[in-house]
Amino acid sequence: MNVKKTRERRRNMRGNRKWVLGIVFCLTWLSVAIWPAGAQAQKVVVAQGIDAETLDVQITTTIPTLIVNYNIYDTLLGRDADLKFTNRLAVSHENIAPDKWRFHLRKGVTFHNGEPFDAASVKFSLERVFAPETKSNQKGWYSTIDRVEVVDDYTVDIITKKPDPVLPARMTLLGIVPPKMLKDPGAKIAMNPVGTGPFQFVKWVRDDQIILKANEKYWGGAPAIKELIFRAMPETQSRLAALQTGEIDIATNIPPDLAEGLKGKGNFDFKSVLSTRVIHLQMHKDKDPLAKQKVRQAINYAIDKDSIIKNILNGYGEKIPSLIPKPVFGFDAELKPYSYDPQKAKQLLAEAGYPNGFEIVMNGPSGRYMRDKEICQAIAGQLGQVGIRVNLKLPEWGTYASNIYSHKTDPLWFIGWSNPALDPDQFLWPTTHSNEPVSRTSDPELDKLLEQGRSEMNVEKRQKIYSEAIRYIHDQSFVVVLYEQKDLVGVSKRIDFTPRGDEMIFLKDVKVLK
């Protein structure tokens, strides 16, 4: 082998790579610089780590999918930037009996296909969630509802099985769909969505982008931006590169360590907000060794949450004791998180009959949550230090989400849970009540508490019920609460956008500044 020629070839290859990268950079800069100013001003591009699962607003509970859908569809009620109730398709509501809520609806609203919105639309939409053929994972959100009665064209009564203080919050989640369209067996709303929202569907290229256009006839006024694009960009570096070149305007789920090196170096900012997402581990408590309380407690003591928050999240997380986050009613500040105590973890394992530990399979996502893969790897290492040997599996998100909803996850698995309804019922019921899509807990005493909490109308009594529930969950160690996530979002300086605590991204009122 000619060493001299080999070195020359390597130098040439390095030079060629630099030349190609330089050309790519220049072309990218030119494409941004020469793009028609009017066209750029009319468009906003949002990059998320995953593509939408479906464009049927009534199927999934996954936030990135709901973010897309809630820009196409409307709900009866909503929440403003301060997370306070606001009217949407309903102009007012009242509790006219312990088990009956009346909603007065907005007049003159039409779906994107021209179909009128009315009380029949609300009745159809609620009933469709429960229809077996819909296969909705949202049934638990509305399981307190007994029936819907149309009073007149613009008044509807929702009757619950028991008094339900959460019903208004539930109506911030229910996407309203067009009944006439969906009575056609050939209608495919999951691929061709039709709502009453501020943006209309144009095109979906799977695993690439969803293109929407402004609904110029929107009841709340036409959006300032005329084209809205949601890009699926699983790789963090790709989202950051696109933000730097101006290819996108909003980049979600940015790791703080990467953001630190880019602050002040472009036409973008990084904005942070304490979210309502609680990152935690779910456990199959009815299967050994996790059926033993001391084993579950040992896992809680074995995980160094402070180290994860400091060294992996760069401080973008807050340690909390329960599945109810700080901004939500029911949070109990007096309850303290499990401390990091590996010696106590070993002691509990020995008392449970596992002095030498055991092997377990743990599942986690890669790219769905901030540094999720790295955190799962750290947890596996920390559990290994107390004798719990973890076989870590990290499937892609589509497979992972499907396994969660079909209860096919392995004994220990990583999940983040948030819900825009912002009520303790929506944080505890789906994650810990028996037979719910996310829960792997089956405990009659806990079920009883959660059922009391969702039907108690007295605020003080309700607070006591949820305090008892979260303390019971904490003592039994049904889950491992890791932290409440701080969201970090990259935002172009050309738009006026502030992240919300409920993780929703509503683009109707976003303004282009330059």
CA atoms within a 13 Å half-sphere pointing along the CA-CB vector of 459 = 1
Q: What is the mean pLDDT of residues 176-192?
A: 94
Q: Are residues 86 and 103 in the same domain?
A: yes
Check pLDDT > 90 for residue 242.
yes
Winning range, highest mean pLDDT, from 265-279, 376-390, 416-430: 376-390
Record the tokens describing residue 388, joined without a space.
């719990």
Confidence (pLDDT) at 204:
98
In this structure, which amino acid lies at residue 408? Answer: K
Confidence (pLDDT) at 262:
87
Give me the CATH number covering residue 221: 3.40.190.10
Q: What is the mean pLDDT of residues 224-242?
A: 94
Q: How confident is the model at residue 14 (pLDDT cuts 50, 70, 90)?
A: very low
| 3-class secondary-structure state, position 426 | helix
Last residue of a domain, one of 123, 149, 178: 178
Cβ neighbours of residue 39 closer than 8 Å, sequence gap 6 or more: none
Confidence (pLDDT) at 8:
44
Integer Cα distance of 340 and 337 in angstroms: 9
CA atoms within a 13 Å half-sphere pointing along the CA-CB vector of 79 = 22
| 3-class secondary-structure state, position 343 | helix
What's 232's DSSP letter? E
Provide, rounded to the nearest whole percent, the portion of the chain with pLDDT above 90.
Answer: 80
Confidence (pLDDT) at 410:
94
Q: What is the mean pLDDT of residues 457-483?
A: 97
Comparing CA positions, the residue from 134, 126, 50 lying closest to residue 89 is: 126
Q: Are residues 244 and 297 in the same domain?
A: no
**Residue 28 within any structural domain of the chain:** no
Tens digits of per-residue pLDDT, 344-400?
A: 999 999 999 999 999 999 999 987 888 999 999 999 999 999 999 999 999 988 899
Q: What is the mean pLDDT of residues 338-348?
A: 98
Confidence (pLDDT) at 31:
40
Q: What is the mean pLDDT of residues 124-149?
A: 95
Q: Are residues 477 and 345 in the same domain?
A: yes
Q: Are residues 467 and 495 in the same domain?
A: no
**Residue 290 within any structural domain of the chain:** yes
Of 6-20, 233-247, 357-371, 431-445, the range with the lowest mean pLDDT is: 6-20
Record the tokens describing residue 6, joined without a space.
């080999």
Q: Are residues 220 and 122 in the same domain?
A: no
Q: What is the mean pLDDT of residues 18-24?
A: 37
Confidence (pLDDT) at 33:
41
Q: Are residues 313 and 441 in the same domain?
A: yes
Confidence (pLDDT) at 79:
95
Confidence (pLDDT) at 362:
98
**Residue 25 within any structural domain of the chain:** no
Q: What is the mean pLDDT of residues 495-507?
A: 95
Q: Are residues 385 and 500 in the same domain?
A: no
Give me the CATH number covering residue 460: 3.10.105.10
Q: Are residues 379 and 406 in the same domain?
A: yes
Considering the chain, what is the average pLDDT of its residues? Answer: 91
Confidence (pLDDT) at 290:
97
Domain total for the chain?
3
Record the tokens describing residue 300, joined without a space.
């809680």
Q: How confident is the model at residue 38 (pLDDT cuts 50, 70, 90)?
A: low
Q: Are residues 247 and 294 in the same domain?
A: no
Angle at 435 between CA 430 and CA 441, to 5 degrees: 75
Winning range, highest mean pLDDT, from 16-20, 70-74, 184-188, 330-334: 70-74
* Residues 149 and 136: beta-carbon distance below 8 Å: no
**Residue 437 within any structural domain of the chain:** yes
Check pLDDT > 70 for residue 175.
yes
Task: Tell me the Cα Rg of the chain.
Answer: 25
**Residue 4 within any structural domain of the chain:** no
| Count of positions (residues) in the chain | 514
Give me the CATH number covering residue 148: 3.90.76.10
Higher pLDDT, 32 or 229: 229
Confidence (pLDDT) at 223:
96
Confidence (pLDDT) at 18:
41
**Residue 367 within any structural domain of the chain:** yes
Cβ neighbours of residue 106 closer than 8 Å, sequence gap 6 or more: 87, 88, 89, 90, 91, 117, 154, 219
Q: Are residues 108 and 157 in the same domain?
A: yes
Confidence (pLDDT) at 30:
41
Last residue of a domain, one of 124, 155, 178: 178
Winning range, highest mean pLDDT, from 58-67, 136-145, 338-347: 338-347
Confidence (pLDDT) at 24:
36
* Residues 89 and 196: beta-carbon distance below 8 Å: yes
Check pLDDT > 60 for residue 59.
yes
Confidence (pLDDT) at 260:
85
Q: Are residues 333 and 371 in the same domain?
A: yes
Record the tokens describing residue 433, joined without a space.
């009540």
Last residue of a domain, one of 178, 209, 239: 178
Domain that holds residue 84: 76-178
**Helix H or strand E encompassing 131:** none
Confidence (pLDDT) at 101:
98
Strand spans (E) along 245-372: 250-251, 268-283, 317-318, 358-363
Q: Are residues 245 and 369 in the same domain?
A: no
Comparing CA positions, the residue from 174, 165, 119, 120 lying closest to residue 142 is: 174
Q: Give the bridge partners for 413, in sequence order.
A: 282, 363
**Residue 307 within any structural domain of the chain:** yes
**Residue 66 within any structural domain of the chain:** no
| 3-class secondary-structure state, position 364 | coil
